[in-house]
Amino acid sequence: MTAASAAILLFFVMDPIGNIPLFLAALKSVDTSRRLLVVGRELVIAYALLVAFLFLGRPFLEMLAISEPALTIAGGIVLFLIAIKMVFPATHGTLGEQIDGEPFVVPLAIPYVAGPSALATVLLMTSQDPVRQLDWLLAISVAWLASAAILLAGSKISDFLGNKGLMAIERLMGMVLVASAVQMFLDGVSKITIWQKG
């Protein structure tokens, strides 16, 4: 996996287009003058968590004795479940509920931006090739910057595309993620086969 492909994958996993309605709903009770500040703060928190997982994830996995094939298969399953929800979104649910007061960390930073699928993807990258942490840091930074730009302009994008436009783009991103998730799962299975032959 190249840094560019990792950045694209992470961008799809973060799903900034799909998160726009969730961000707008969570910020309804926040004063208009503070909304950009709150979004910026939550994005920085999410970025810090992703970077922390990049540098601390491998020792954590070694402590739990989780093998690379197991992580690859688990990552594929998590990505697949997230992608299915993007392709077939629920009409209602806890993620779309009204948030009282100003959100802090939850739910904007976690799990909307740095969710389980994004963290699993970062863990997978650093586990597969730990010597390329600078490449993975670049991938995280590029994906985060692109997501941040979209989320900071969320209200304008929502007004321009409308609900149907946002839903169409999210479903397209979901289809790409479904293919990536299946490939990740197959990679994990093939690694188990190689280990058994070895």
Q: Which two tokens stand for residue 121?
A: 């993807």
Domain ranges of the chain: 3-197
pLDDT at 85: 84
pLDDT tens, position by position, 15-43: 999 899 989 989 988 999 999 999 999 99
pTM: 0.82
Give pLDDT tens digits for 154-191: 999 999 999 889 889 888 888 888 888 898 888 888 87
Q: Tokens 């996995």 label which residue?
A: 61
DSSP alpha helix (H) spans, 27-132: 35-64, 68-87, 116-128
